[in-house]
Amino acid sequence: MQVLVIGSGYVGLVAIVGFAEAGHRVLGVDVDVSKIEQLKKGKSPIYEPGLEDLLSKHLASDAIRFSTEMRDGIATADAAFICVGTPQSEDGSADLQYVLACASEMGSAMSEQRTEDALPLIVVDKSTVPVGTASKVAATIRSRTDRAFEVVSNPEFLREGNAIEDFIYPDRIVIGCDTDFADGVMQALYGPLVKAAKEKLPNGGRWFRMDPQSAELTKYANNAMLALKISFINEIANLCEAVGADVDFVKVGIGADHRIGPFFINPGPGFGGSCFPKDLQALLKTGRENGLPLLSLNATVEANRNQKQVLARKVHLHYNVQPYDPFPLSGKCIAVLGLAFKAHTDDIRETVALELIGHLLQMGADIVVHDFEAIPNARKIFNDKINYSDSPIDACQNADAVIICTEWPQYAKIDLDRLASVMRSATMFDGRNLFRPEDMRAKGWTYHSIGRVSVYP
């Protein structure tokens, strides 16, 4: 089949290589000329495990092509996927300007390029969009063309850092559509991936057909539920610290209840990333518009705002920071390990690390950072205000303290004795609970983590 993917960012690029892997011919489109030039040479502008290998493989066989012009693919496409960004507007709602610009351009291109007897083009909203967007996209396209099409909602559930696996072996496909024809096209497109997922995963490849509104809401409800779980365990972790309990015990205790399950109940320094913060705001806005304040979601957002300061609060307490001192950390060197919002990605949008670094700089600290993939993105933000290091050990050279913000597995395997030997003081603030407090105490560290008592040498 012929697939057109508009927007070649995290979601679009993964869909491009994923559909090529499923045996389809794909044209990837983006308005960013330099991104398209890079992609044509097989270079991925983002880091995602396995992505660049698949990109090279399918460029070589001509299954994937790139262009800045959707017109280059609209005549022959069976389906056109909209994968452009939906950032947060000032009022919290999802900004649909890129999605609707895409729809408008698509309508014009269809008018010029598609013949009257062509089968209806299946236009797929893969961007995360509020309820009712499929109708808006349809109306926008209809205002530009009388060629046949149908708009389908197909939200994306990939996890950054695991995106290729998630796309190629999907646990579920959610399709919001009005006709059997559209469902049939989507089944043909995803067929090889669904088959592979069914063979590989116990509950993989489940197909959920529904109306477009329900599909649109499913994506937001999914992210909101995950965020709620994180905020809940973070608050329980804070309570553990206050009462002398250990969240590691509490989380396995509650995770063993099959109604709760062991997933997504790891405490941390608050969630960030490109999706949860904006998607939660967009869902709250939808609630307000419908007279429903979504109280649990409000609490989730509030709890996360508080949690994103947990590491800074621990630093304040440790150094006895006083409000009247303008630069209380002047002369202190702090190493920050991990900038990405989670491991195996270079995405630093809305991360805890960015906020924390900004705060520590204001307090006068010198900052050295390390990340396995996100340094180029961090340089664009901090330039020479902070120092960058190629290795975690080098980042901690002469540091007064190290803060772990991202759960890169390599950090958990770090040689703690060597790390202590290069630092001025063996002090760690571990936002990801990578180590056991009793081990850290035995090794002579001062160790602050989340939801467990601090230990001192």
Interface ranges with ligand NAD (CB under 6 A):
6-12, 29-32, 35, 83-86, 98, 101-102, 127-128, 156, 158, 160, 274-275
Q: Which is nearer to ligand NAD, 98 or 232 (CB)?
A: 98
Report which residue type is found at 59.
L
**Does residue 275 have an active-site annotation?**
yes
**Least CB distance to ligand NAD at residue 245 (A):** 34
List C-alpha distances in Å: 280 to 182, 229, 288, 350, 353: 29, 13, 12, 13, 20
CA of residue 235 relative to chain centroid, distance: 22
Q: Which is nearer to ligand NAD, 32 or 178 (CB)?
A: 32
Of 126, 222, 209, nearest to 175 by C-alpha is 209
**Least CB distance to ligand NAD at residue 247 (A):** 27
**Least CB distance to ligand NAD at residue 274 (A):** 5
Q: Which is nearer to ligand NAD, 13 or 419 (CB)?
A: 13
Q: Which is nearer to ligand NAD, 167 or 319 (CB)?
A: 167
235 vs 295: CA distance, rounded Å = 16
Q: Which is nearer to ligand NAD, 28 or 269 (CB)?
A: 28
**Least CB distance to ligand NAD at residue 252 (A):** 28
Q: Please identify the residue of the shown chain whose CB is closest to the bound ligand NAD.
A: 9
Q: Which is nearer to ligand NAD, 300 or 449 (CB)?
A: 300
8 A C-beta contact, residue 443 and residue 421: no
**Least CB distance to ligand NAD at residue 349 (A):** 8
Within 10 Å of residue 229's Cβ, how many Cβ atoms?
17
80 vs 138: CA distance, rounded Å = 13
**Least CB distance to ligand NAD at residue 174 (A):** 12
3-state DSSP assignment of residue 132: coil
Give the Cα-Cα-Cα angle 334, 338, 344 (nearest 5 degrees): 170
Q: Which is nearer to ligand NAD, 50 or 364 (CB)?
A: 50
Report which residue type is found at 104.
S
Which DSSP state fits 152? E
Within 10 Å of residue 369's Cβ, how many Cβ atoms?
24
Catalytic residue among 83, 102, 275, 396: 275
3-state DSSP assignment of residue 429: strand
Of 387, 383, 379, nearest to 336 by C-alpha is 387
**Least CB distance to ligand NAD at residue 304 (A):** 17
Residue 5, phi then psi, degrees to nearest 5? -120, 120
Within 10 Å of residue 255's Cβ, how many Cβ atoms?
16
The set of residues, in sequence order, having a beta carbon less than 8 Å from that of 440 and lying 6+ positions away, is: 416, 428, 447, 455
Catalytic residues: 275
